Structure 1
Amino acid sequence: MKFAAFSGVFIDYSIQEAMRLTKRLGMDGIEIAGREPHLSAETSLPRVKEMKALADGLGLEIPVIASYAGGFSVMSDREAEKTFAEFQRMLHHAGELGAAQIRVSPGGPNAFLAQDYHYAKAAYWLDRCAAEAKAQQAEIVLEIHNGSLVETVESSLRLLGMLEHDNVGMIHDAGNMYITDTDYGRDSVLKLGDRLFHVHVKDELRIEKAGAPGTFVNLTHRGEESFLQCRLGEGEADHRPLFDALVETGYRNWITLECHAPFPPYERLEHDFHAVKRLLGRS
């Protein structure tokens, strides 16, 4: 397994400083957030090439571009065409940066509220994205995320089963799946099988009321609930079964750490990286 930092954790820093901090942490690569000040559809080609040169100079790989393009299921055709064009520009950036995967959002609503037409519309546009990516020998990754069509393994497999292209897979995210209140342990890994393309790691905690730093409110099948973003091992998303399953199944791809707990960015990623290595028996 290889480890990457999510540049969004360092969003208050330049992408150059985010890369330097990632290298200092001892990680193998950086997953670049597809929003400014790091990267966007409007980023110039010279600036993209500068990012690639810096990453190469630091010995960092760029496995994924975490684009925020998508949301097709709840868009008008005109809006979908516009975000598809944005995706195309981000895909070009991914090629320049040597990233083999680009994240796209299918859209919402929550899977338990979604209708058949939401899945049909998302599938149509995701297939168009996948065709463009395949021509570039790239993969599309959909993040299992609360509040979306793909907030459980079952809803993820439903959408994947509607696609013509096989270069679309899932980002497993135990923190998001804890929020959704769905299984994120061994069975989730086995069910995803070869459609598990990437893994995100972060911890979360259900709380009575939001308002303090690091808290937020989300709609789940229980209604509106409050959560606190935590460092790994300080919340309730038990990652042990996930990592045991990754070892069991021989997972050899990337794991991105993206802790957003209310601590300094470097400190929280350093904490989580040590925690992950302990889970894998590396420290």
Structure 2
Amino acid sequence: MKFSVFTASTPEWTPAEAVRILAGQGWDGVEWRITDQEETDVPGFWAGNRATWPLTGLEDRLDELDRLTRESGLEYSGIGGYARCDDHDGVERMLAATARLGARQVRVTMPRTDSGEYRALFAAARRDLSWAASRAAEHGVKALVELHHETITPSASAAFRLLDGLDPEHVGVIHDLGNLVIEGREETLASLQLLGPYLAHVHVKNVAWVPGEPEQDGTVRWHHAWAPLTTGTGDVDDYFRALHAFGYDGWVTCEDFSTDVPVEERTRGNLDYLRAVAARTRTAAAA
């Protein structure tokens, strides 16, 4: 396995700082966040993120992005794109950029379930992904669908149904431990076996379910919150045991949105933890 960091989770760093620190800590790669975002005075994960490359004018900055990445010695685990599957112009640009960078694969986002009637959204997304697969083949790259809560593909079953019959050389799935805690979790090994050749990439973060204050009638409503890898609801060891049992040996991208410790301490500790988990679960799987 190789380990990388998605720069959505490192909002305080500039791209130059991100590659310097991550390479210095021993990460194998980086997954750049590329999207137009709201600018803010205080950097945040989703707005004012300094480690994000804007989609506007991206083509003019690809040489700079590639130079920073390659001079640091980091590889691309993929590209964290935000173009939705029905935005054909945006998807085409992201596929072309991925090919130019030699980054191999790029995320294409799915419609939210609250944006329309589910069956209609699903049917349209299937048509869009069929088109994206053909364009990805032209570019020699792969378009990725992430298992993500509140979208039409929160689970492996939903993603498999969406992609079934398309060429797994050019479309695939990002399996995501943390997102599945929120919505869509199925037994991990079974879900990996279901995806089969469509399993292309893995994201790791963690989430905890926490209770709210009791309401007047005693009702307690639970909500999810980002958590450190070591303390969230998702069982990281169990997750890696399933990955080893399936035979997955690709990229694992960490996107830790917890804020318990400063970002540099967080990324350093996460790499140590993930390597330790991968080693002990690999040994157990081989026993």
TM-score for the superposition, normalised by structure 2: 0.83
User: Is it true that 1:48 corresponds to 2:62 in the alignment?
Assistant: yes
Shift of 1:164: 3.7
Name the residue aligned to 1:255: 252
Code of the aligned partner of 1:14? T
Deviations, residues 233-258 of structure 1 (Å, cap 9, x unaligned)? 21111122221122122212111000
Shift of 1:177: 0.5
Distance 1:282 1:47, change over 3 A: farther
User: Is it true that 1:108 corresponds to 2:112 in the alignment?
Assistant: yes
Deviations, residues 205-238 of structure 1 (Å, cap 9, x unaligned)? 001239xxxxxxxxxxxxx851121111211111
Shift of 1:135: 0.6
**Alignment RMSD (CA, Å):** 2.3
Q: 2:98 aligns with which of 94, 99, 122?
A: 94
Shift of 1:108: 2.2
Name the residue aligned to 2:263: 265
Counterpart contact for 2:240–2:277, Cα < 8 Å: yes
5+ residue gaps, structure 1, are 73-79, 211-223
SS of 1:135 mapped into structure 2: helix
Instruction: Name the CA distance, whole Å, in 1 between partners of 2:76 and 2:157.
Output: 29
Name the residue aligned to 2:236: 239
Deviations, residues 155-187 of structure 1 (Å, cap 9, x unaligned)? 1111112x5443211101011101115225222
Counterpart contact for 2:175–2:199, Cα < 8 Å: yes
Instruction: Name the CA distance, whole Å, in 1 between partners of 2:34 and 2:89.
Output: 14
Instruction: Name the CA distance, whole Å, in 1 between partners of 2:211 and 2:173.
Output: 31
User: Is it true that 1:29 corresponds to 2:29 in the alignment?
Assistant: yes
Code of the aligned partner of 2:173? M
TM-score for the superposition, normalised by structure 1: 0.84
Counterpart contact for 2:188–2:242, Cα < 8 Å: yes
Code of the aligned partner of 1:29? G
Instruction: Name the CA distance, whole Å, in 1 between partners of 2:167 and 2:9.
Output: 32
Name the residue aligned to 1:129: 132
Counterpart contact for 2:95–2:143, Cα < 8 Å: no
Q: 1:176 aligns with which of 175, 179, 186?
A: 179
Percent identity between the two aligned chains: 28
5+ residue gaps, structure 2, are 37-49, 214-220, 282-287
Instruction: Name the CA distance, whole Å, in 1 between partners of 2:141 and 2:56.
Output: 21
Code of the aligned partner of 1:252? D
Instruction: Name the CA distance, whole Å, in 2 between partners of 1:157 and 1:6.
Output: 24
Aligned pair count reads: 258
User: Is it true that 1:62 corresponds to 2:76 in the alignment?
Assistant: yes
